[in-house]
Amino acid sequence: MGPHEVNGFFDALSLLTRLRTRGGRDTARAIPWMPVVGALIGLACGLVYWAARAALTPLISASLAITASILLTGALHEDGLADVADAFGARVEPARALEIMHDPYHGTYGILALILSVVTRVVAVAAMRPSTAVVSLAVAHALARAGAVGLMTGMPPAHGSTLAASYKSPEIRRGVFAGIVFALALAVATLGLWAFAAAAIVLGAVAVTGLLARQKIGGFTGDVLGATEQLAEIGILLLVASAGAAVPWWRA
């Protein structure tokens, strides 16, 4: 692994978190590392929940864990979800939908999407044991970002989007494939057979946001990727919360 690849990791940290590292903000170089950084973000939030449960109730501990996620990422993906909800919820032309996405203020659809996202994740994590939450948050964040980068390289950017079509180069595609393999391997190692259900949820989130984006604005934007991550993350957390002790890795 050369310096270029290592710098991509720090670029991903700078892009996906509020941490300032020695890397820059080279999106193309960071793409393959996004699932890895996602796993670290989820792990950090899971450890917050695990530590808080020593003294606090599950609901309060889960609230702290999700708050940590929002603070660590600067609500990057939540903002994308809200923008997409506002833009796609309105019956407008593609150009107007893109204008709504660029508007720094959120409307009714966006605010409701944010509330549902936060509340659903808090409730899901609160239903988990501390050890389960640590693992499931890491997996959810990794797989969700793998789905987002997969969408990025699988469809064209929307007209007027600042994201470049050059992300589809063979080199980037190989990096994306490696990132997806990492996320899937992490899921299989921790969730067992439930990893396939988690992967199906991610594919569903990618399909829904991808089809809507193509229909509404002709391609993806950064906000669409954020919405994809949020839907996938929520779905995986709900899956694990519902499965509970049925997950083989934690049965003991």
pLDDT in tens, 41-91: 999 999 999 999 999 999 999 999 999 999 999 999 999 999 999 999 988
φ, ψ at 124 (rounded to 5°): -65, -45
Q: Report whether pLDDT(23) > 70.
A: no
- Does residue 86 sit within a domain? yes
Q: Read off the pTM.
A: 0.93
- Does residue 2 sit within a domain? no
Q: Specify the number of domains making up the chain.
A: 1
Tell the burial category of 177 from Cβ atoms under 10 Å away from its Cβ (0-12, 13-18, 19+): middle
Is 237:125 a contact under the CB 8 Å cutoff?
yes
- Does residue 17 sit within a domain? no
How far is the first Cα of the chain from the last one, in angstroms, to the nearest whole number?
38
Spell out the residues 6+ positions from residue 104 whose beta carbon is closer than 8 angstroms to its own: none
Q: How confident is the model at residue 248 (pLDDT cuts 50, 70, 90)?
A: very low
Is 141:47 a contact under the CB 8 Å cutoff?
no
- Does residue 232 sit within a domain? yes
- Does residue 151 sit within a domain? yes
Containing domain of residue 58, as a range? 39-250
Higher pLDDT, 4 or 190: 190
- Does residue 14 sit within a domain? no
CA distance 127 to 130: 9
AA letter at 166: S
Q: How many residues does the chain have?
A: 252
- Does residue 91 sit within a domain? yes
- Does residue 159 sit within a domain? yes
Q: What is the pLDDT of residues 144-175, one digit of tens each?
A: 999 999 998 888 888 766 665 556 677 778 88
